[in-house]
Chain A
Amino acid sequence: DAKTTQPNSMESNEEEPVHLPCNHSTISGTDYIHWYRQLPSQGPEYVIHGLTSNVNNRMASLAIAEDRKSSTLILHRATLRDAAVYYCILQGGTSYGKLTFGQGTILTVHP
């Protein structure tokens, strides 16, 4: 499985934008980039995914580099509820549903 690299931790202030980076230099052409997050004492939850184009949904935006070797999850206005571990995961056509979680980024949001 292609690997992702994320910073161990990041900090933000409430109501400010947060940019969470992910490097995936060995991504293949059929790999989708997925982001999940895990709030304290909860199971992971889906945030967003994309293939080549930037994507927006009600939770976040995903900016994908033109060469697809990196991506950035953007939380437009962080809230205290966004404090979580954020996982960037590649899922390709042959993964058949397997999600391989890396270490993720621990996001701390300060009031």
Chain B
Amino acid sequence: DTAVSQTPKYLVTQMGNDKSIKCEQNLGHDTMYWYKQDSKKFLKIMFSYNNKELIINETVPNRFSPKSPDKAHLNLHINSLELGDSAVYFCASSQDLRQPGYGYTFGSGTRLTVV
């Protein structure tokens, strides 16, 4: 049973295209996240949703739009892809953030390559 699953695992696309990455968690967690890990392996938060409500929206180009149809799903849509968007995108989930001690469970990542 995969706890946090994201698709696709690899995505190669041309500049200017629009693409989506999907994420689903079956842990019953309340909060989901998108992180971007660049070539230097720096893991940076992009968005966070708690029970379908956007709670964290870091300084990310508005070409990136998250959508959470329910608390088990958080998708990421990217418009007009640019070379600099190439990175590994990780979805993660956690129990209610007010509960201490809960770490994140990460998905396996989507390696996006823009050519």
A and B bound?
Answer: no
The chain B residues found within 8 Å of chain A, CB to CB, are none
